[in-house]
Amino acid sequence: MAGDYDYARNELEEDEMKIKTGIEYMDSLKQLNPVIYYMGKKIKDVTEHPATAPHVRAAAMTYAIAVQDEYKDLATATSHLTGRTIGRFTHVHQSVEDLIKKVKLLRLLGQKTGTCFQRCVGFDGINAVYSTVYEIDQKYKTNYMERFKKWLIRIQDENLMVVGAMTDPKGDRSKGPAEQKDPDQYLHIVERRENGIVIRGAKLHMTGAVNSHEILIMPTTAMNESSKDYAFICSVPIDAPGIIMIFGRQANDSRRDMNESIDVGKPSFGVVGGEAVIVFEDVFVPWENVFMDGETDFTGLVVHRFAAHHRANYGACKTGLMDVLTGAVTYLAHSQGTAKGSHVRDKVTEMIHLSETLYSSSIACSAEGVPTSSGAYMVDTMLANVCKHNVTRFHFEVARLAVDLAGGFIATLPSEHDLQSEEVGHLVKKYFLGVEGIPVEDRIKIGRLIEAMTGGTAMVESMHGAGSPQAQRIMIFREGQLNKKMKLAKALAGIPQRKKFYHHNSARSDRNIIF
């Protein structure tokens, strides 16, 4: 079910993007033939299967709002490559204004869907790869940028959804890619042909993979010369021969699969982003779609830039989800007659405070953005890591407050079948009634929405999506400019600068730490 939203409403001019409306996006997926498994069985149509359809509809919202006059300024952009109007999710940031518009767009979409709308990983991959391949070309006189531009123009003109594929299985994590007993634990090149490369391995936890059009593959970590076959960037269609996807389970998916609309909590949209394992079994990639091949000294840079862009997003999209959750709890309090309680108002106020604080963090790292040598803009990497680290605390606290305010009601609700039962339905309606005038069905629906947004998968994704909290703490320490801060303190205390006696290697040589 698509809810109350008309995905086909409005259209852009015919000379603009090939895929314009949400319904056109869903129709485009029907033209693909990917190999996807769920619960041991193949999925024939991701737009119809109950496990994947909610995630398709969430992604469709990114197209649907772009054709509404109210949101066009946020959801579309002007391509710096062609001058044509494009979807913002295929855009390369050209200014601080672009970075801030992205933040506002992501919060809006979080509010519209209450879940992950899945296009951010590909969006951030496009921006990280664009600036990185430019610098590879500058150093090695390669032609990766021209290949990438040609590919990107097609992505922009057709308005395709791209899944960014970065996370490898990693196997024994005490060992690097080339040291693994099983070389497939990191996606790698197994053959270089005259017309392209052949790759083998897998990428895990890929958000939106099953309902994207293309896969943008990136390395998952900084690498040394021994890992040249693992140091590559390329793109492939999701239905390329040799690609197999395995769709992951999520909280309450049995309710969703049985079309229990009320018990699902969010019947139109998924719980999170619809993650999948992508297996590459000797997949061929033509040279025109290869954007890095063995330049190991740039693997760390593309990972660093991708991570920063992606971590900046979380203060926006998760704020949109927190807005929905705050509204849901407020409505539930009204339906139960507790809205005027001082402790209720205080906790709702704290939920608002945490949401806006998180949002300001996302705005800040965008406002402090700077251009790279390619001209593409980069968020402030320190503030981006702070932003994502705040998500791992603030979103959980908002969820905790929501569950606190909702009470045990959301954990012990009878099922939709009981509500509709001829034998006991009248009892459910009698004893779960709250404030007069508010239907018991509405109270149950909002309770299930709170349950869906505070339990299981959603909270794990907020904690570990875009890197675990420790990943941000490492980057925050590296980017903390401790050398500069110690000099400030020493100057005020009248301590002279002395011989360096400890040197900590950093990913950024201009921010090395000296004690």
Please tell me which residue in 120, 234, 365, 387 is annotated as part of the active site: 120
pLDDT of residue 468: 64
What tokens does 193 get? 């042909």
Please tell me which residue in 93, 304, 310, 395 is annotated as part of the active site: 310
Could you give the C-alpha distances from 264 to 49, 261, 268, 416, 434, in angstroms and in order?
Answer: 15, 5, 9, 10, 21
Please tell me which residue in 317, 319, 377, 395 is annotated as part of the active site: 317
Please tell me which residue in 7, 38, 144, 314 is annotated as part of the active site: 314
Is the pLDDT at 4 greater than 70, yes or no? no
In the residue annotation, 441 being an active-site residue is answered as no
Is the pLDDT at 443 greater than 60, yes or no? yes
pLDDT of residue 118: 93
List the Cα angle 364/369/373 in 5-degree steps: 170
More confident residue, 448 or 237: 237
Question: Across 352-443, where does the E strand assignment appear?
Answer: 370-371, 377-378
User: Burial letters for 452-474: b for 16+ Cβ neighbours within 10 Å, e otherwise?
Assistant: bbbbebbbebbeebbbeeebbee
In the residue annotation, 48 being an active-site residue is answered as no
pLDDT of residue 375: 97
What tokens does 47 get? 């737009």
In the residue annotation, 120 being an active-site residue is answered as yes
Could you give the C-alpha distances from 224 to 26, 138, 227, 291, in angstroms and in order?
Answer: 42, 20, 6, 18
pLDDT of residue 341: 86
Q: How many residues does the chain have?
A: 515
In the residue annotation, 317 being an active-site residue is answered as yes
In the residue annotation, 191 being an active-site residue is answered as no
pLDDT of residue 475: 82
Which band of pLDDT confidence, cut at 50, 70 and 90, is reported for residue 507? very low
Give mean pLDDT, residues 197-201.
Answer: 98
Which band of pLDDT confidence, cut at 50, 70 and 90, is reported for residue 470? low
Closest listed residue to residue 246, CA positions, set 153, 149, 158, 169:
169
Please tell me which residue in 21, 52, 90, 116 is annotated as part of the active site: 116
End-to-end CA distance of the chain: 60
CB 394 within 8 A of CB 402: no
pLDDT of residue 456: 46
pLDDT of residue 504: 45
Closest listed residue to residue 178, CA positions, set 302, 294, 305, 300:
294
CA torsion angle 351 353 359 364 (round to 10): -160
Residue 422 and residue 429: Cα distance in Å, rounded? 12
pLDDT of residue 47: 96
Closest listed residue to residue 9, CA positions, set 85, 97, 71:
71
pLDDT of residue 262: 72
Question: What's the pLDDT tens digit per position in 307-346?
Answer: 999 999 999 999 999 999 999 999 999 898 988 988 889 9
In the residue annotation, 365 being an active-site residue is answered as no
Residue 123 and residue 103: Cα distance in Å, rounded? 12
Please tell me which residue in 416, 451, 461, 479 is annotated as part of the active site: 461
Residue with tokens 């400019």: 481
Residue 315 and residue 346: Cα distance in Å, rounded? 23
Which band of pLDDT confidence, cut at 50, 70 and 90, is reported for residue 509? very low
pLDDT of residue 343: 87
Residue with tokens 């469709």: 60
Question: What's the pLDDT tens digit per position in 373-424?
Answer: 999 999 999 999 999 999 989 998 999 888 888 877 777 888 888 888 999 9
Please tell me which residue in 275, 416, 451, 479 is annotated as part of the active site: 275
Residue 289 and residue 292: Cα distance in Å, rounded? 9
Residue 461 and residue 467: Cα distance in Å, rounded? 10
Residue with tokens 């390369």: 92
Residue 183: CB partners within 8 Å, gap ≥ 6? 177, 201
Give the rounded percent of residues in the chain with a pLDDT score beyond 70: 88
Give mean pLDDT, residues 279-298.
Answer: 98
CB neighbours of residue 249 within 10 Å: 11
pLDDT of residue 200: 98
pLDDT of residue 16: 62
Residue 25 and residue 60: Cα distance in Å, rounded? 6
Closest listed residue to residue 302, CA positions, set 408, 358, 374:
374
pLDDT of residue 253: 72
Helices marked H in 187-268: 253-257, 261-264
pLDDT of residue 414: 87
Which burial class, exposed, middle or buried, applies to 486 when counting CB atoms under 10 A from its CB (0-12, 13-18, 19+)?
A: middle
In the residue annotation, 331 being an active-site residue is answered as no
CB neighbours of residue 509 within 10 Å: 7
CA torsion angle 418 420 424 429 (round to 10): 100
Please tell me which residue in 115, 207, 296, 457 is annotated as part of the active site: 207
Question: What's the pLDDT tens digit per position in 69-78?
Answer: 999 999 999 9
Q: What is the largest CA-CA distance in the chain?
A: 84
Is the pLDDT at 87 greater than 90, yes or no? yes
In the residue annotation, 207 being an active-site residue is answered as yes
